[in-house]
Amino acid sequence: MATAGPRSFSAAEVRARCAQGACLVSCRRRLYDLSGFVRLHPGGEQLLRRRAGTDVSAALDGPPHRHSENARRWLEQYYVGDIEPGDEQGFAAQNPDLVDWQKPLLWQVGYLGEKYDEWVHQPVDRPIRLFHSDFLEFLSKTAWYVVFMVWTPVVLYLSWVSYTSLAQGNTRLFASFTTEYSIPVHKYYFPFIFLLGMILWSLLEYLIHRFVFHMKPPASNYYLITLHFLLHGQHHKSPFDSSRLVFPPVPASLVIGFFYGVLRLLLPEVLGLSIFVGGLCGYVIYDMMHYYLHYGSPKKGTYLYGLKAYHVKHHFEHQKSGFGISTRFWDYPFQTLIPEETFKKED
C-alpha cells in the first residue's frame, strides 16, 4: 500500500489561516506551523508574528542573524506539508530518532554510547518522561512557583534566626584556634554575610553548570551517561519542558542539606548559617531567573532580554560556553563568554 505524501497547501489557505491567528511560515516550499511556539520564540513573539505567511529562508540564513543548525532541526518538528504545487522536491524525511519516546528515556540513553553527546544537544519540543514509576516521575518534575513557595519561607525564617543569633554577641571568627585574637561578628554584618553567600552561590552555580552538568561522559560508560542525562542532559534535549526547568524540592533538599552540612563543618554555626541562607536566596533567584529566560518575554534592549538571548545561544549554538544563567559575570574571568559578534540585531 502506498504511503500518503505530505499535504499541499495553497497560498490562499496559508493567508486565511494566518488571518485567523495561526503562525505559518515556509522555507523553500516546506510549510511549518509555529502557532504553539510563537510565544517562546527567543527573538520575541512579535518578530515571529511578522514572519507569518512568508518564506523565512533568508531569515534562517542571514544576515543579519544566522540561525544555528540546531534551530533548523528544531523547525522540522513543526513541518505540516508543502506549498503548492505539491511536488516532493523539497521534501526530506527526518532521521529516525535513537530512542523510543513512548517509553521512559532515562534507561535508554546510556545505550547511545558515542552518539549520546550529539543527540542530547539536538533539542526537541516535547515533554520527557524519565521513570517507569509514577511516584519517581512525580518527584522529578515541578512547577516553577513551587520552588518559590517552598524555599522563600525558609529563607525568611533562617534570616531571622541568623540575625537574632548574631545579635546575642556570642559569635566570633577563629575562636576555635585562639580566643585572644578571635574576631567578633556583629549583627550589623549580617547583610554583608548574606550577600557573600549569594556571591558564593553564583560561583558555585557556574562551576556546577560547567564542570558537572556539561561534562562529556565516556561513550563506554552507561551509568555516567545516564547520570548526565538525569542531572542536565534532559534539559538540553527538551529545553521548553516547563515541568523540568527548576529543581524539584525533594531532590533539591538533599543537595541543599549537603551544602549546609559542609558550612557547619567549616565555620561557626551562626556564621555558616548566615552564608548558607544567602546562598539559598541566590539559588531561588537563579531558579526563577532560569524559568523566566525560557518562558518570559522581556522587553527588547533590557538586561533580561540580553540574558535571554545569551542563554538561548547556550542551548542552541554554544553549548560549551555561556554557563552563567542569573549572571554572565563568571564567564568573563573563566573565559567562557559567548562571543559578542554572534549577537547581531535582527530587523
**Residue 232 assigned to a binding site:** yes
**Residue 318 assigned to a binding site:** no
**Residue 311 assigned to a binding site:** yes
**Residue 65 assigned to a binding site:** no
CA–CA distance from 20 to each of 79, 145, 313 (Å)?
19, 33, 32
**Residue 294 assigned to a binding site:** yes
**Residue 228 assigned to a binding site:** no
**Residue 214 assigned to a binding site:** yes
SS3 assignment for the chain: CCCCCCCEECHHHHHHHHHCCCCEEEECCEEEECCCCHHHCCCCHHHHHHHCCCECHHHHHCCCCCCCHHHHHHHHCCEEEEECCCCCCCCCCCCCCCCCCCCCCCCCHHHHHHHHHHHHCCCCCCCCCCCCCHHHHHHCCCCHHHHHHHHHHHHHHHHHHHHHHHHCCCCEECCCCCCCCCEECCHHHHHHHHHHHHHHHHHHHHHHHHHHHCCCCCCCCHHHHHHHHHHHHHHHHCCCCHHHCCCCHHHHHHHHHHHHHHHHHHCCHHHHHHHHHHHHHHHHHHHHHHHHHHHCCCCCCCHHHHHHHHHHHHHHCCCCCCCCCCCCHHHCCCCCCCCHHHCCCCC
**Residue 235 assigned to a binding site:** yes
Directed axis angle between helix 269-295 and helix 249-266, to 10°?
150
- Could you tell me which residues are annotated as the binding site for Zn(2+)? 209, 214, 232, 235-236, 290, 294, 311, 314-315
- Could you tell me which residues are annotated as the binding site for heme? 41, 67
- Could you tell me which residues are annotated as the binding site? 41, 67, 209, 214, 232, 235-236, 290, 294, 311, 314-315
